[in-house]
């Protein structure tokens, strides 16, 4: 088991789509009717969408890899959360997922620090993240980085609407 973090490039679009689908399904798949999960995965986590993100210079993805296998990732970019104080020039942690076998080894923290360093490379700015209301571990994780709850919204997964919290870390 030799884990490494590397910045994804557009040629990694299939790999990013695959790990996004595996991470989301392993973490949250049990919460949704199969048709809602399939619709969400097939519209959100496809190679073309990931390639567009990887080509967008305002966004960045880092992969956590075990040899040749992606086992986690983080996606960051301009804030798109529905909060009245959110601005596009603010940064957002859009996804941070690890497969269960990579939990509790400090790799989430390493991905987070890598992404925060990139987001803050030009100086302080406000950062945001959306967190499922019942993902208490993630809420505690983000609180350790200075994020606090400032709002909520509904996140659609097919016909299911998840109750999400909006967390912010001021500049």
State residue 88's pLDDT score: 85
As a whole number of angstroms, the distance between CA 17 and CA 135 comes to 22
Tokens of 95: 């996804």
Please tell me the total count of domains within the chain: 1
pLDDT higher than threshold 70 for residue 1: no
Residue-wise pLDDT for 23-40, tens only, equals: 999 999 999 999 999 999
As a whole number of angstroms, the distance between CA 155 and CA 163 comes to 7
Q: Are 20 and 50 in contact (CB under 8 A)?
A: yes
Mean pLDDT over 144-157 rounds to 98
Residue-wise pLDDT for 40-73, tens only, equals: 999 999 999 999 999 999 999 999 999 999 999 9
> Which of 18, 116, 118, 28 has its CA nearest to residue 71?
18
Q: Are 130 and 81 in contact (CB under 8 A)?
A: yes
Residue 60's CATH number:
3.40.630.30
> Which of 154, 157, 156, 140 has its CA nearest to residue 165?
154
Residues spanned by the domain of 81: 3-169
């Amino acid at each position: 088991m030799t884990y490494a973090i590397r910045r994804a490039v557009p040629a990694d679009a299939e790999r990013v789509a695959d790990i996004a689908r595996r991470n989301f399904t392993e973490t949250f798949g049990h919460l949704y009717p199969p048709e809602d999960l399939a619709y969400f995965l097939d519209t959100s986590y496809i190679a073309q969408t990931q390639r567009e993100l990887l080509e967008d210079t305002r966004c960045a993805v880092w992969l956590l890899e075990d040899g040749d296998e992606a086992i986690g990732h983080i996606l960051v970019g301009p804030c798109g959360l529905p909060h009245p104080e959110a601005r596009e020039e603010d940064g957002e942690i859009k996804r941070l997922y690890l497969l269960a076998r990579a939990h509790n080894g400090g790799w989430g923290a390493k991905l987070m620090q890598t992404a925060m360093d990139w987001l803050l490379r030009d100086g302080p700015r406000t950062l945001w993240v959306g967190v499922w209301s019942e993902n208490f571990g993630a809420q505690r994780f983000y609180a350790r980085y200075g994020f606090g709850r400032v709002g909520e919204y509904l996140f659609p997964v097919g016909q299911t609407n998840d109750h999400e919290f909006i967390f912010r870390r001021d500049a």
